[in-house]
Structure 1
């Protein structure tokens, strides 16, 4: 698949390298093309610019493109703004999926994304038709795509990122706050 990447920073580089290794044709702005070249390169565009620049660069993306929004807008004190809402309001003609925003770029640089015997799960929020396009790209990185709901749930995913980043900066093991789906007794956490 042809994937354009708007951005040339750590996330753009890490995810782009992973998709190239999986056999995709990737064009990143600033590295192999301009913003306009990358924004019209293929049916999928990764939006990997600072959240403050996200709306500004949308003009470079062709209509009806599937856009993967991996941006986070964490404010001082580890509050959160919601770039997904601003992106979809500015360009309702795009099919935007919030994904890849929970992990540091170093995770995407690793040769494997299997931890404790389990592949990393990548939550995706957005229109169903767009998530169907993004899910194989998650799988191609050795991860499990996780349908986390429609566009209305993207703000929850952005808030989760801000919450986890705040814990990490405080020196806490943010991953330790979530226990496995089943307890030792076999009871589902959802039935308690």
Structure 2
């Protein structure tokens, strides 16, 4: 697939590394041109202008939640586009969420762009886990996927599987209200409780 990654931080770098490794054609759009160029050169991706970024099959929003709407607006018309939202609405100290219960970051972004096919995914995974690959502690790391558009969810599941991760259907987009607190809890365990960033949440199923 042709995939645009918005951002050039740690999560964006993890995506670019794994997506290019999986054979996807990857484009990077970032505020810091030098950082974006360096990331593209490191992993064999390309940088592009915001106006051309929307031509991709999938757009990954790898920014902070506070930057998300402006980053997407810079791309122009996104009607019909599959957007993967990985954001968590974190407080300044990363130890709490600024949204929850009656809405979510994903829903707020979707409300700002009613024509897009927004999918919540990858928000429970640390950049270090993403960059290292899908295996952790002898198991495949799950990616929880929430969306109202079944076709968009299937497209994102295909991307997840192409990277070797396990795709878990987490229901409709409103379930981002659960996934974002789960992402916040994972961040607390990693930093607040000192467990480090090579951890990931999962569910154990007795079959």
Partner of residue 43, structure 2: none
Give, in angstroms, the shift of residue 6 of structure 1: 1.3
Shift of 1:83: 1.6
Give deviations 1:88-121, integer Å, cap 9, x for gaps: 10001000111011111111111x4222332111
Aligned residues: 181
- 2:51 alignment partner in structure 1: 36
TM-score after normalising by structure 1: 0.85
- Counterpart CA distance in 1 for 2:115 and 2:203 is 39
Q: 1:176 to 1:123 in 2, by over 3 A?
A: closer
Instruction: Give runs of aligned pairs for residues 29-178 of structure 1, distance below 5 A.
Output: 29-30=29-30, 31=36, 32-38=47-53, 40-59=54-73, 60=75, 62-75=78-91, 76=93, 77-81=95-99, 82-110=104-132, 112-126=133-147, 127-171=149-193, 173=195
The runs of 5 or more residues in structure 1 that have no matched partner are 183-187
Measured in 2, the distance between the counterparts of 1:173 and 1:3 equals: 32
Aligned to 1:22: 22
RMSD: 2.2
Sort the Cα spacing of 1:50 and 1:144 in 2 relative to 1 into closer, same or farther, 3 A. Answer: same
- Tell me if 1:181 matches 2:205: yes
Alpha-carbon distance, 1:125 to partner: 0.4
How far apart are residue 17 of structure 1 and its match? Answer: 1.6
| SS state at 1:180 partner | coil
Cα–Cα, structure 1 residues 66 and 176, in superposed 2: closer, same or farther, change >3 Å?
closer
